[in-house]
Chains A and B, each alone.
Chain A
Amino acid sequence: MALIELIDISKSFDGELVLDEFNLKIEENEFITLLGPSGCGKTTTLRILGGFETPDTGRVMFQGEDITNLAPNKRQLNTVFQKYALFPHMNIAENIAFGLKISGKSKDYINDKIKYALKLVNLTGYEKRSVDSLSGGQQQRIAIARAIVNEPRVLLLDEPLGALDLKLRQEMQYELIRLKNELGITFLYVTHDQEEALTMSDKVVVMNQGYIQQMGTPEEIYNEPENAFVADFIGDSNIIDGIMLEDRVVKICGAVFPCIDEGFGRNKPVDVVIRPEDIIIGKPGQGIMDGVVTSNVFIGVHYEMCIQAGGFEWLAQNTTSYPVGTRVSIGVTPENIQIMHKPQSEDEEAISLDD
């Protein structure tokens, strides 16, 4: 049985639908990430789980028990809020101790926990500091510490690393994963940073406008996006109109590419996704089509180039640099071409392409 289950959750604010028949299962000990653009309903989902928002319809189940109407303080989960929500009238130690004091833990236990938590978030010795003497990133880490000391069954984290710089963010990502494995806490993580989602999660849920677009392991999401929205949102991609001529053959920009997808029918319009790092750049005539390099930027490790070919501007990444103006050929191995159905109706298109 899943630890948490959201069943047919719908929620609207002022007549605007934010979540529509939302279904999600969270297994014990899973690190699951909600990923999506701003305003897609991630925080709302967390708030419904935390008990701060009641869904218009649908149920929230915890270990098979309906907790839809259970008060927030009775739920076995803790939240790291997007806006930190540290208590300004308490110092750092008191903030961290808040939940432990409520549950009546002993002084020694609380003091040990405070030390442990501060060490964990790299802020040892900050016990007596006041909240507003801390930077945004430090406050965010205290918010994490305040939640985990309670050892909840489930930890809800709403963009907990948003205010941190890259290095600290990576450190904290690592720490959070370690923490999760060590404490056996189930994590429901919210972010709009796709890289973060892909590195940390067991399962990624890509959301847009209150709908789940795709759910799967990071590899599945990255390598096999189910629609153009997911492909576009996860990393840079070339999303191109194509025509599936027959099984394993797709025509893109006038050129015929071999691929490995089947079952789309004959002469069907499709969306084709090709990752920039999968584009093979060669001498003119060596690939499938020829083109001209129109821009070249070094982005660390490799060069990101735009190549005008067949009326489309291809985004390509390569460790070799091809100067602007060079004539090159491009090719793609069949496994790296991802074919997707075009959205059937205009409605569906709006869902997948908006934002």
Chain B
Amino acid sequence: MTNSGKNRNLKRIFSGPFLAFILCGTLVPMGVIAYYGLTDRSGAFTLSNIVAIATRSHAQALGLSLGLALISTIICLLLAFPLGLILKDSKLGRKGFMVFVFILPMWMNFLLRTMAWQVLLERNGIINLALKALGLPLLDIINTPAAVVLGMVYDYLPFMVLPIYNAMIKIDNSLIEAAYDLGAGKTAVLRKVILPLSVPGIVSGITMVFVPSLTTFAISTMLGGGKVNLIGNIIEQEFTVSSNWNLGAGLSLVMMVFIIISMALIEKFDREGEASVI
């Protein structure tokens, strides 16, 4: 056997556990979901679990989910892009500090952090106590979509900042200097050099914020107080409260399709964006 052949075999052996994990942890559950989603309680084939997305409450929840996910993604993007610019230009010490500030929260369970917002935002929470003490009007957003968006932005912002920051520090400084040298002002440099070269980071950032925002049920449960019903909540309730695994699985399949479509759209936009820059 040749040396490279041996190597390949070795690689195959080492990738075994990972492949097994993917198989058991992802493919098998997906198969199970597909099975449940396409059958009824008796095990007969049906599309009713899929079509159920069209019922009024489900469609409404899906619409709300899409809307809130979109809003939080846009807010995250608007916050992360300038932040990336600042981080890119800052000196190492400050860079370390800032990254720390944004990475550190990721080390703490996000349920805990979301719960912290619950405490902060409550009608008699810390924020309102402070506002009351200052004689200012009270903030009444707990259990509204606004609170849910706040939670999403807070939880998922680091996933937008990191890829954008990564893309930005990879931009060679000499490119920016070349642009200035050729007469470009600050805005032109930003628009024609930094932005197009950050696109890969922006695209992965959008993916990493939009998808979990679309499917979350924890944030809407904690900060929506049962009044903000996202599609994630409905699926969760089908599995837990109503014990209707078939309907839950069917709706999950629909969500999967939605996510795949959104990804395809982003991808397409990404390529077009690059093309339009050219």
Partners in one complex: yes
Q: Is B89 an interface residue (CB 8 A)?
A: no
Partner of A89, one of B174, B178, B181, B197: B197
Residue A81 contacts which of B177, B274, B278 (CB distance < 8 angstroms)?
B177
For chain B, the bracket of interface size reads 20 to 34
Interface string of B195-219 (1 = CB under 8 A from A): 0110000000000000000000000
Is B129 among interface residues, defined by CB-CB distance under 8 A?
Answer: no
Other-chain contact of A102, B172, B182, B197, B277 (Cβ < 8 Å): B182
On whether the beta carbons of B278 and A72 are closer than 8 Å, the reply is no
Give the chain A neighbours of B193 by CB distance below 8 A. 87
Q: Which of A27-85 contact B (CB under 8 A)?
A: 50-52, 71-73, 78-79, 81, 83, 85
User: Cβ of B177 and Cβ of A72 under 8 Å apart?
Assistant: yes
Please report which residues of chain A, range 90-134, place their CB below 8 angstroms from some CB of chain B when the two chains form the complex: 90-91, 94, 98-99, 102-103
Contact with A along B38-51 (1 / 0, CB 8 A): 00000000000000
Of residues 157 through 188 on chain B, the ones whose CB sits less than 8 Å from some CB of chain A are 172, 174-175, 177-185, 188
A240 to chain B, nearest CB (A): 44
A150-B178 in contact (CB<8A): no
- Name A98's closest neighbour in chain B (CB-CB): B182
Q: From A72, A87, A94, give the contact of B180 (CB < 8 A).
A: A72
Inside 8 A of A85's CB, which chain B residues have their CB?
A: 172, 174-175, 177-178
Count how many pairs of residues, one from A and one from B, have CB atoms less than 8 Å apart in the complex. 62
Residues of B within 8 Å of A78, CB to CB, are 181-182
Residues of A in contact with B, size category: 20 to 34
A15 CB within 8 Å of chain B: no
Closest to B192 in A: A98
Q: How many Å from the CB of B269 to the closest CB on chain A? A: 16
A87 to B188, CA, bound (A): 14
- Say yes or no: A150 contacts B277, CB within 8 Å: no
Partner of B178, one of A81, A91, A94, A103: A81
**B262 smallest CB distance to A (angstroms):** 25
A72 partner residues in chain B, CB cutoff 8 A: 177, 180-181
Is the beta-carbon distance between B278 and A89 smaller than 8 angstroms? yes
Q: Which residues of A contact B178 (CB under 8 A)?
A: 79, 81, 85-87
Tell me if A88 is interfacial: C-beta within 8 Å of chain B.
Answer: yes
Does A203 sit within 8 A of B, measured CB to CB? no
Q: Is the CB of B182 within 8 A of A91?
A: no
Chain B residues near A94 (CB-CB < 8 A): 278
Take A88-B197, A89-B274 as given contacts and tell me if A73 and B184 are in contact as well, using a CB distance cutoff of 8 Å: yes
Confirm or deny: A251 has a beta carbon within 8 angstroms of a beta carbon on chain B: no
Bound-state CA distance A79–B172 (Å) is: 16
Q: Give the complex CA separation of A150 and B179 in angstroms.
A: 13
Cα-based distance from A8 to B133 in the complex (angstroms): 62
Distance in angstroms between the alpha carbons of A73 and B185 in the assembled complex = 6
Supposing A73-B185, A102-B184 touch, asked if A89 and B196 sit within 8 A by C-beta, the answer is yes
Cβ–Cβ < 8 Å partners of B184 in chain A: 73, 98, 102
Q: Name B's A-contacting residues (CB within 8 A).
A: 172, 174-175, 177-185, 188, 192-193, 196-197, 274, 277-278
Q: List 12 A-B contacts (CB under 8 A).
A: A50-B181, A51-B180, A52-B177, A52-B181, A73-B180, A81-B178, A85-B177, A86-B178, A89-B278, A90-B277, A102-B183, A150-B183
Q: Which 3 residue pairs spanning A and B have beta carbons closest together?
A: A99-B182, A85-B178, A85-B174
20 new A-B contacts at CB < 8 Å, known A73-B184, A99-B183: A50-B177, A50-B181, A51-B180, A52-B181, A71-B180, A73-B180, A73-B181, A73-B185, A78-B182, A81-B174, A85-B174, A85-B177, A86-B178, A87-B175, A87-B178, A89-B196, A90-B278, A98-B179, A102-B182, A150-B183
